[in-house]
A and B are shown apart, each in its own frame.
Chain A
């Protein structure tokens, strides 16, 4: 796009250079994505599905495992629609996004924090909205859903908070990673006071999140039935590592959980809670964050995993910027190529090769557009 402009002045030159730079950036990212799609189409003989210019996994199928995709929607933080309909609209938009995917994902993961304060009307509203997703939905619980009634209503609506399932040769585990040691009883807090305390990002009164011993036992048992070469994908609301303690971007017993997962060749953890693009690798375990539909969090002042390709600071004038949804493609090897579908920017594709190579290969394109 560069050469055509006859530059008129210094001022125009500078501005032009900026625009050109942006454009080149966008072009590169677009080409990369569309070439990947075209290449995949050529290899698999599948018709190029243009929706969201999504990557289609390369069907090399060398282990006889069929690659597949699942979508995610996370952290919608619903209030009653009379109180705040912006988050309702955002969730509706994400549902529309996912419903428009062609081909449809095998299932949709909801990543937790459906409600803002765990109230019945918030959870009920969320359940009602999620019914409109065409693909099957897999639910995960977040602390905002939990700490008013300790998960009672959520369980009534969605069933068990900890469970596992197999899909196309991959073992999926869903954890409740937001348990907290009792900080409320001795303080005489009401359920709503407890909820508000947990809902505060940097409220130091609360405890740190943990999976907890009983659930770790359950996990050990659950995994004991599988061979080491079975790909394992774990969904947890909080990151299963220690990122930033003050904000509970943290799981207190992360090391113990990681130790359980270490025995497997290929493990991917996909988590919500942090509302941002987040990439990490610890040993054999790949970690990916999810975007929120409600709002983006800034990066924490310390502890950011070094593999993370940072999303740009969102435009404060666009409530959608920095929010979004996305999907993951599980490759034939059983690894995850993750796509962050940022609503106000080009999608960012974080391939498994990037994590596997420790950041040396396949570095994701930085998000398009300037930081604000």
Chain B
């Protein structure tokens, strides 16, 4: 009796300690809670995750068409609690990286909108990649993964960063599995989840399963769409009208019940790279480098070009070698954008106001610019309204971060609008015109 009581007391104590840790973590006060590269430590992230996710059963989000949901789940990776649990453990597992410093959650940090809120990802040995880390929130709804769509599924996606030399830098699948081979807990979890010994494919499946639980679609905007006219401000409602009209957002960022992301899952050159790259020269170089690279080796070659070289800027072209895909990147989701900045494939736009400025002036003129990108002539008030709408699309569980980051962005935008160009936006000067006529900046 005594012993049982003691055990219970001890357990309660541990729980209290855990909670204290969580409080500290939330305040980001303790150095011990720091993970690599500004991430919250994995344990503290887990506490936050628990708080956000609760004990939500593994099921389609409310209101989501069940048939469409079924189509999102691969037949050989049915979503089960055991798989999700294994995947969650792996998502926060630093041992998956070469030197044990980073995990998935380093760049897809629970406390930073499931991304790293940095321009580009940072991997082992402080190495910087070339691409902005997309959030893992709602990633399950994408038809292809990575900003160039080089992976067809979450499963295939999960396999690449572990092996990429500047991300987690494991030399091989075998080396990766060896890192956790001695861990009896993993052996049991893999057995439970997939009925066999740990292996790399199942590891990727489990991570994918965990990511399929990261559904964050419960925002003021959703309540507005469901009929609550007061869920978002009048300004945001004006933003919704602009989103579907003058601002042309909906051309690529269509939102509906079965595609709640606001992405057309296609690849568009909106000219972000055109500010600093010569596409033709890059493309010729990439073709030379990728010549003869086939199969998995070809995919890994693309992965390395995308993360380590200037050829990253070619985007979808690296995957398809189709000239029309030069500089094209996947349409990002508009969900939770308030907490997933900076923006664009290279993280080059700091605020949503910068994003609006970029589109407002018709992107950056280049030969591969998507035909749908054109000057929008949005006023300052209209830009504010679209931003207000975008900020209303952040899930309630991230509302505090959303408010804090929005305030930061707003303050920055007051003094710093590097991409604003009223002449282009108002069509007094047309895209290509300055370059073609050699009269940069001059009005007609």
Identify the A interface with B (CB < 8 A): 1-6, 8-12, 15-16, 19, 22-23, 26-27, 30, 34, 48, 50-53, 81, 85-86, 88-89, 92-93, 95-97, 99-100, 129, 132, 317-321, 323, 342-347, 368-369
Q: Which of B66-108 contact A (CB under 8 A)?
A: 71, 73-77
> A343, B152: Cβ atoms under 8 Å?
no
> B432, A89: Cβ atoms under 8 Å?
yes
Distance, CA A136 to CA B117, complexed state (A): 51
Identify the B interface with A (CB < 8 A): 71, 73-77, 143, 152-153, 155-156, 201, 251, 280-281, 283-284, 287, 294-296, 298-299, 319-324, 365, 367, 369-372, 374-375, 427, 430-433, 435-438, 444
Chain B contacts of A368 at CB under 8 A? Answer: 322, 324
Our pick among B143, B322, B433 for the contact of A346 (Cβ within 8 Å) is B322
Distance, CA A6 to CA B365, complexed state (A): 39
> A92, B295: Cβ atoms under 8 Å?
no
In the complex, which residue of chain A has the Cβ closest to the Cβ of B159?
Answer: A6
> B322, A345: Cβ atoms under 8 Å?
yes
> A317, B324: Cβ atoms under 8 Å?
no
The answer to whether residues A369 and B152 also contact, given A8-B77, A11-B71, A81-B430 and a CB cut-off of 8 A, is no
> B201, A6: Cβ atoms under 8 Å?
yes
Q: Name the residue in B143, B156, B284, B432 with the highest tally of chain A Cβ atoms < 10 Å from its Cβ.
A: B432
In the complex, which residue of chain A has the Cβ closest to the Cβ of B284?
Answer: A50
> B320, A22: Cβ atoms under 8 Å?
yes
The answer to whether residues A99 and B436 also contact, given A9-B74, A30-B287, A318-B372 and a CB cut-off of 8 A, is yes
In the complex, which residue of chain A has the Cβ closest to the Cβ of B208?
Answer: A8
Distance, CA A342 to CA B294, complexed state (A): 27
> B367, A93: Cβ atoms under 8 Å?
yes
> A4, B322: Cβ atoms under 8 Å?
no
Our pick among A1, A15, A89 for the contact of B143 (Cβ within 8 Å) is A15
Distance, CA A93 to CA B362, complexed state (A): 13
In the complex, which residue of chain A has the Cβ closest to the Cβ of B285?
Answer: A50
Our pick among B76, B370, B372, B374 for the contact of A89 (Cβ within 8 Å) is B374
In the complex, which residue of chain A has the Cβ closest to the Cβ of B439?
Answer: A132
> A92, B433: Cβ atoms under 8 Å?
yes
Distance, CA A358 to CA B399, complexed state (A): 67
> B298, A344: Cβ atoms under 8 Å?
no
When A and B form their complex, which 7 residue pairs have the shortest distance between CB atoms, in order from nearest?
A320-B371, A50-B284, A8-B74, A92-B432, A9-B74, A9-B75, A319-B371
> B427, A85: Cβ atoms under 8 Å?
yes
> A93, B155: Cβ atoms under 8 Å?
no
Distance, CA A271 to CA B294, complexed state (A): 42
* Interchain nearest-CB distance for A224 vs B (Å): 41
In the complex, which residue of chain B has the Cβ closest to the Cβ of A347?
Answer: B323
> A19, B152: Cβ atoms under 8 Å?
yes
In the complex, which residue of chain A has the Cβ closest to the Cβ of B266?
Answer: A317
The answer to whether residues A318 and B322 also contact, given A1-B294, A12-B153 and a CB cut-off of 8 A, is no
Distance, CA A331 to CA B287, complexed state (A): 27
Question: What are 16 sample pairs from A and B whose C-beta atoms fall under 8 A apart?
Answer: A1-B298, A3-B295, A6-B156, A9-B73, A16-B152, A23-B320, A30-B322, A48-B284, A50-B281, A92-B436, A93-B365, A93-B431, A96-B435, A318-B370, A318-B371, A368-B324
The answer to whether residues A96 and B367 also contact, given A9-B75, A26-B320, A51-B280 and a CB cut-off of 8 A, is yes
> A4, B323: Cβ atoms under 8 Å?
no
> B436, A132: Cβ atoms under 8 Å?
yes
In the complex, which residue of chain B has the Cβ closest to the Cβ of A129?
Answer: B436
Chain A contacts of B201 at CB under 8 A? Answer: 6
